[in-house]
Amino acid sequence: MTERKGRVKNRPSFRAMIFLRRLSQGVFLVLFIVLFVKTDYNGTDHLDSAVNLLFRLDPFVAACVMLGVKSFVLLLLPSLAVLLLSLIFGRGFCGWFCPMGSLLDLTGKIVPQMDRNNRTSYPNLALIILVFALFSSACGFAVAGYFDPFSLLVRGMAQAFYPLLNSLTVGFFSFTYRTFPEVVNHVTEPVYGLLQAFILPSGQKYFHLATLSFFMLGGVFLLEGVQRRFFCRNICPLGAMLGVIGRWALVAGKGGSNDCGSCRICTNRCRMGAIDTERVIAMATCNLCFECVQKCPRQIINFGVSAPWSAPPSQTSLSRRRFVGAALAGVLLPSVKGVEALAKNPDPFLIRPPGALEEKEFLGRCVRCAECIQVCIGNALQPAFLQAGFDGMFSPILTARTGYCEFNCTLCGQVCPTGAIRELSPAEKRRLKIGHAWFDKNTCLPYAKGIPCMVCEEHCPTPEKAIRFKDVELINDAGLAVSVQQPYVVSGLCIGCGICENKCPLPGKAAVYITSAGEDRNAKSFLPSSGSIPYAG
């Protein structure tokens, strides 16, 4: 190792640590992106890898879900390992592993920061969010997905950035294809082919709330302009949770000393704002990036192993009043949900993915990670807006006009990290009823105008058709006597996949549509039929 003239270089072991940390960030970020892109149909019915692993490592998600459904969820067991690791490495997870953190570090290299004094803007906020989220989840109001870094990240990517990337790329290559001569296309088309094969999704998807998802994730990145790792310091409840344990971590920073004089390079440079003006390192915040060690001109600041009980007292913590306030808000807010009109009259167009649990249990488990939405082969699953209430925002619903549920596909249940959507066998999936189709005879062409159509019947996927037709003689809209086929639904066969609504050739509103009536997951829902007396009793 060469020593540079006039300046003592840092201890080589810490330079190696910084290299290792960057390597780790890079490897996990690439792994995350690969898993994200692979959260897609792979040519077989079974998906072998998906980005759901990330959520199963997330103790904040695990705590909220388990409190929400009041039971142990085995799928989330891996998150325990992260908790245990934080007993040794504190928030090292945030600095070395978290893909959101790594992306923010990358953003920080591009976005200039406004805040020079590097004091964390709202040092208590993340803890308040954590306490609020845990209490409100326990009381049946699942808000983990609003704040969880992985939910924000995967959701923003799935519902905005990834489809946007595709749209822009396809737009560009359509332009070159249509405008430029063959010579240019000989170069551009192979590039396009490669992108399609390895990076782009198989087709363009469209999403409700794409703009909102874009701004939520984009906002997290833009906040990097306020201070470095703004989200991690001020908002991230997962980070706060790891910090609560991390303050007693085995690995601990040894702050500055009297020898430092007026130097506060570490204080001003720390990306987490973990070092105070006395140069004490708060291990509840420090994410072990080790850059302070590198930047310390006199090699004073250092890290080592410390006894867990010797945590310094000056750590960020909530005052009793704030804790009680956050907890109370978490307890009270869910009660408002009970007087929403939706509590009495649920939205009939709220179609959940096949295998979704009963609504209360489903919302308790769903962390709005958008993986089902990302993997949905038909662009059928969309993030809900207010159809499922305030706490149901971004939870998956099927809107058939943008996409239908593919008959043989079981991918959403395979990727759900929390089991909010059960994994179904293909045979079970093909029988499971998620809704029911209804004809609007005022607009359906064979009824309204005597015009032949039957596109719905053609596409109906059940082996014994759930949509059938009867031959009818009538006077059509031109006043002519014609014979026409009129469709109808066989309730016992319709599974509510929505392909009829999707393929209905009418412009705008389809003449056949799906409601949640009769869905299998809801014991109270039923379909009246002439064979039973549903209204009795």
Q: Which is nearer to another protein, 204 or 532 (CB)?
A: 204
Chain-centroid distance of CA 120 in Å reads: 27
Distance CA 242, CA 220 (A): 20
Please, what is the Cα angle at 206 between 380 and 57, to 5 degrees?
70
DSSP state of 4: P
Minimum Å gap between C-beta 401 and another protein is 13
Minimum Å gap between C-beta 210 and another protein is 20
Minimum Å gap between C-beta 424 and another protein is 16
Minimum Å gap between C-beta 51 and another protein is 20
Q: What is the dihedral of CA 275, 276, 279, 282, to 10 degrees?
A: -50
Closest CA to 283 of 306, 262, 263: 306
Q: Which is nearer to another protein, 23 or 472 (CB)?
A: 472
Q: Token match 């549509």: residue?
A: 513
Please, what is the Cα angle at 87 between 81 and 88, to 5 degrees?
100
Q: Which is nearer to another protein, 159 or 410 (CB)?
A: 410
Minimum Å gap between C-beta 469 and another protein is 7
Minimum Å gap between C-beta 33 and another protein is 21
Q: Which is nearer to another protein, 171 or 537 (CB)?
A: 171
Minimum Å gap between C-beta 392 and another protein is 27
Distance CA 266, CA 264 (A): 5
Q: Which is nearer to another protein, 115 or 428 (CB)?
A: 428
Q: Which is nearer to another protein, 181 or 313 (CB)?
A: 181
Closest CA to 510 of 479, 527, 481, 487: 487
The backbone torsions φ and ψ at residue 42, rounded to the nearest 5 degrees and listed phi first, read -115, 15
Q: Which is nearer to another protein, 280 or 409 (CB)?
A: 409
Q: Which two tokens stand for residue 329?
A: 């808000």
| b/e burial code for range 306-327 (CB count within 10 A of at least 16 → b) | beeeebeeebbbbeeeeeeebb
User: Which residues make up the interface to another protein (CB under 8 A)?
Assistant: 41, 43-44, 174, 177-179, 181-182, 202-203, 377-378, 406-409, 445, 451-455, 457-459, 461-465, 469, 485, 503-505
Distance CA 35, CA 409 (A): 20
Distance CA 9, CA 24 (A): 23
Minimum Å gap between C-beta 395 and another protein is 23
Q: Which is nearer to another protein, 45 or 358 (CB)?
A: 45
